[in-house]
A and B are shown apart, each in its own frame.
Chain A
Amino acid sequence: MPDPAASPPAAGVIHDLGYRGYDGPRLGRAQIVRALTWHSFRSSFGIGRGVKGKIIPVLAVVAMCLPAFVNAFAVARGNARLFGYDVYVPSLRVAVVTIFLAAQAPELVSRDLRNHVLPLYFCRPLRRGDYPLAKYLALTAALLLLIEIPLLILYVGTIASAKSGGAVWDQTKALIPGLGVGLMWAVLMAAIGLVLASLTGRRAYSTGIVAISCVLTFILALLLIQSEGGTTATSTGARIAGLFSPFTIMDGVRVWLGGDPNVGLVADPGRYGPLYGLLAVVLLAACLGGLAARYRKVSQS
Chain B
Amino acid sequence: MPSTDPHAVIETRVLTKVYPGGVTALDGLTVDFAPGVTGLVGANGAGKSTLIKILLGLIRPTKGQAKVLGLQTGEKVRSLLGYMPEHDCLPADVTATEFVTHLGRISGLPPTVAKERAAESLRHVGLHEERYRLIGTYSTGMKQRVKLAQALVGAPRLLLLDEPTNGLDPAGRTAMLELIARIGAEFGISIVVASHLLGEIERICDHLVAIDGGRLLRADTITSFTQVSQVLAVEVEEGQDRLQAELAARGLAATTQARTLLVPLGGDDTYDVVRDCVAALSLPLCRLEQRRHQVEELFRDEEEGVANA
Residues of A within 8 A of B (CB): 14-15, 17-29, 31-32, 35-36, 39, 48-50, 111-112, 115-117, 119-127, 299-300
Interface set, chain B 48-100, CB cutoff 8 A to A: 56, 58-59, 75-76, 78-79, 81, 83, 85, 87-94, 98
Give the interface size bracket for B toward A: 35 or more
Q: List 17 A-B contacts (CB under 8 A).
A: A19-B183, A20-B120, A21-B155, A22-B117, A26-B108, A27-B108, A27-B110, A35-B105, A39-B105, A115-B91, A115-B92, A122-B56, A123-B83, A125-B76, A126-B75, A127-B75, A300-B59
Q: Is the CB of B110 within 8 A of A19?
A: no
Q: Is the CB of A124 within 8 A of B88?
A: no
Smallest CB separation, A19 vs chain B (Å) = 4
A23 to B188, CA, bound (A): 14
Interface set, chain B 120-166, CB cutoff 8 A to A: 120, 123-124, 150, 154-155
Chain A neighbourhood of B81, CB < 8 A: 123
* Contact among A22, A23, A299 with B58 in the assembled complex (CB-CB below 8 Å): A299
Q: Is the CB of A36 within 8 A of B91?
A: no
Q: Look across to chain B and name the residue whose beta carbon is closest to the beta carbon of A22.
A: B155
* Contact among B56, B87, B105, B187 with A32 in the assembled complex (CB-CB below 8 Å): B105
Chain A neighbourhood of B90, CB < 8 A: 115, 117
Instruction: Please give 19 more A-B residue pairs, beta carbons under 8 A apart, in addition to A17-B123, A26-B108, A112-B91.
Output: A21-B188, A22-B113, A26-B79, A27-B110, A32-B108, A48-B94, A49-B94, A116-B85, A117-B89, A120-B83, A120-B103, A121-B106, A124-B78, A124-B103, A124-B154, A125-B76, A125-B108, A127-B75, A299-B58
Chain B neighbourhood of A27, CB < 8 A: 105, 108-110
Q: Is the CB of A19 within 8 A of B89?
A: no
Q: Look across to chain B and name the residue whose beta carbon is closest to the beta carbon of A35.
A: B105
Q: Is the CB of B186 within 8 A of A111?
A: no
B102 within 8 A of partner (CB)? yes
Q: Look across to chain A and name the residue whose beta carbon is closest to the beta carbon of B85.
A: A119
Tell me the interface secondary structure of chain A in the complex.
Answer: loop
B16 within 8 A of partner (CB)? no
Chain A neighbourhood of B188, CB < 8 A: 19, 21
Smallest CB separation, A138 vs chain B (Å) = 13
Smallest CB separation, B118 vs chain A (Å) = 12
A26 to B75, CA, bound (A): 13
Smallest CB separation, B65 vs chain A (Å) = 18
Q: Is the CB of B89 within 8 A of A49?
A: no
A85 to B300, CA, bound (A): 76
A261 to B192, CA, bound (A): 66
Smallest CB separation, B57 vs chain A (Å) = 8
B107 within 8 A of partner (CB)? yes
Chain B neighbourhood of A24, CB < 8 A: 110, 113
Q: Is the CB of A35 within 8 A of B94?
A: no
A25 to B113, CA, bound (A): 10
A35 to B105, CA, bound (A): 7
A126 to B81, CA, bound (A): 13
Q: Is the CB of B78 within 8 A of A125?
A: yes
A123 to B187, CA, bound (A): 21
Chain A neighbourhood of B92, CB < 8 A: 115
* Contact among A36, A48, A116 with B106 in the assembled complex (CB-CB below 8 Å): A36
